[in-house]
Amino acid sequence: MKKIFNLFDLKQKINYKNEVLSGLTVALALVPEAIAFAIIAGLSPLTGLYAAFSIGLITSILGGRPGMISGATGAIAVIYVGMIAVLRETIPGISVDQITEYIFATVILAGLIQIIIGLLKLGKFIRLVPHPVMFGFVNGLAIVIFMAQFESFKIDGEWISGNTLLLMLGLITLTMIIIWGLPKISKAIPSSLVAIIVVSAITIYFNIETKTVVDTLTGDIKTLQGGFPPFNIPSISFTWENFIFIFPYSLIVAGVGLIESLLTLNLIDEITQTRGQSNRECIAQGTANVFTGFFSGMGGCAMIGQSLINISSGARARLSGIVASVGLLIFIIWGAPIIEQLPMAALVGVMFMVAIGTFEWASLKVFGKMPLTDVIVMVIVTLITVFLHNLALAVLIGVIISALAYAWENAKRIRARKYIDENGSKHYEIYGPLFFGSITVFIEKFDVQNDPDDVIIDFSESKIVDMSAIEALNGLTDRYQKARKTVHLRHLSPDCQVLLKNADKLIDVNLLEDPTYHVAADKV
């Protein structure tokens, strides 16, 4: 209990002022993002706001990374676009309300998948993501955050121009200057919150006509006013056909949500020089999605932009995320008329600064200094993230390319030192890992026809990695046996011995006992 609710752990040093003010800043920044992502998915703005509240609250309390903010995200919203298109094709005349019920069911199933992944402790595999992929992911998201703000320069679908554009650019610039300059004077209050308050006060005091939050609402939606998220069991037929339809989308939502959340967790870890708990975060994200699916939310995951706002404002504990979520709910229930009048210029300025701070500018210095493969991986992940908005695909491709490059490099490192001892036995001292990528080169090192009757293969500087390596040894032994020659393996590591022992019914390999190390036993 203490570990989960460490918000109330008196031993934890918490700057309550920073936590509360950072949380309020994040709550304000959550509003336009949640609305925008709901609109992208073709849903009511309240489904985005409800998701931001419930997911943010639950992950702040139960999550594995204090200070990280979760809510409705664009990466998840984009998945629904394809799902909705298929629903409209397969069910002609389906209403928005019916579509929403399918999405709620999808979110709930995605949450259950995430919980299972967390319970199986699969979150640790995020550590397999190489650093170039991380660079590409962060840079791609920074660009996406920056480009997403361009919609705020439109009114009724038309780009603003003239004095209206100049005025908005001026307010954005003022916001960014305050965020950049205030910390140099004082860090008593988060600069993002001060910027929003100052720019809002200027527009109200001077009666400046500029785009506000209410102007982002479309269709019949004219207000953000709402109540507590209503409980709702998805009203779809619980048939096998519906399960088969929503399961692939749930799997994608679960995968994308966890990838984005765990990569964001790693990023916050680096910034704060602390370590989060990936498996706990998986369970928290899943629990939050199950909850929000039953309480009229569109689902979501960690939000890198809002998380960085929170961290840069000095928040380090769970309290800031709780304040952000509760604050957002207060805005929905009672503060909608005020929030609706906030100038979009102030919020855009905040997000522009988030994008600038998110981008790994140091990555631009790696060109010509890092291996070409790493540079290519970083660029590809960035481009896929920006143009396809498919984070899971970007990371998957980046990991695959990195893994193949690593395998290729290691495949070229297999070496064999050869000599004949005083007893006439020929020794092959192997250097480098023996795995699927290096077995061809490994086999080419041996001269079966011309070797003496006794051959010793020494693995003191090598390692048998996989089944392909075992099969290669089996094939090599078979060739020597057909030539009526004997092969011995020496200096196998303990895990290699286990690997061969587990495969002893499949292969016939002789192990030579070493009198010094006793790492192997004869097997005839």
Residue 269's identity, in one-letter code, is D
Mapped onto helix, strand or coil, the DSSP state of residue 277 is coil
Provide the 3-class DSSP secondary structure of residue 502. Answer: helix
DSSP label of 41: T
Closest residue by Cα to residue 489 from 508, 466, 465: 508
Question: Which tokens is 138 given?
Answer: 């962060």
Chain region(s) in the chain for CATH 3.30.750.24 = 415-502
Q: Tell me how far CA of residue 24 lies from CA of 18, 30, 106, in angstroms.
A: 10, 10, 31
HSE (CB half, 13 Å, CA atoms) of 94? 17
HEC string of 295-308 equals CCCCCCEECHHHHH
Could you tell me if 340 and 214 are in contact, meaning their C-beta atoms sit under 8 angstroms apart?
A: yes
- Distance between CA 129 and CA 377 in Å, rounded? 11
Q: Give CA separation, 299 vs 71, 126, 210, 382, in Å.
A: 7, 21, 31, 25
* ∠ Cα 113 305 330 (to 5°): 80
Nearest to 348 by CA among 125, 43, 29: 29
Q: What is the pTM of this model?
A: 0.73
> Quick one: tokens of 333?
């229930």
* Other CB atoms within 10 A of residue 214 CB: 17
Q: Which amino acid is at 331?
A: F
Q: Around Cβ 308, how many Cβ atoms within 10 Å?
A: 25
Helix (H, G, I), strand (E, B) or coil at 417: strand
Distance CA(248)–CA(333), nearest Å, equals 35
pLDDT string in tens for the chain (524-residue length): 444 444 444 455 788 998 999 999 899 888 877 887 787 777 888 999 999 999 999 999 999 999 999 999 877 887 888 889 899 999 888 988 899 999 999 999 999 999 999 999 988 777 778 888 888 988 887 888 788 888 889 887 789 999 999 999 999 999 999 999 998 998 778 888 899 999 999 999 999 989 988 887 766 677 888 899 999 999 999 899 999 999 999 998 998 899 889 989 988 998 888 888 999 999 999 999 999 999 999 999 999 888 988 998 889 899 999 999 999 999 999 998 888 888 999 988 988 888 888 788 888 887 878 888 899 999 999 999 888 877 778 888 998 999 888 888 888 888 899 999 999 999 999 998 888 888 999 999 999 999 999 999 898 888 888 888 888 888 888 888 888 888 888 887 776 677 666 555 555 455 555 444 433 333 43
Contacts (Cβ under 8 Å, ≥6 apart) of 168: 153, 160, 210, 211, 344, 345, 348
CATH class, range 415-502: alpha beta
Q: What share of the chain is helix, strand, coil (3-state, %, to 5)?
A: 65, 10, 30
Helices (H) and strands (E) in the chain, counts: 18, 8
Of 327, 357, 303, the residue nearest 21 (C-alpha): 327
- Cα–chain center distance at 174: 33
495 touches 459 (CB < 8 A): no
Residue 9 is predicted with a pLDDT of 47
CA distance linking residue 444 with residue 418, whole number of Å: 13
Which residue, among 2, 80, 32, 460, has the nearest Cα to 215 in the 3D structure?
32
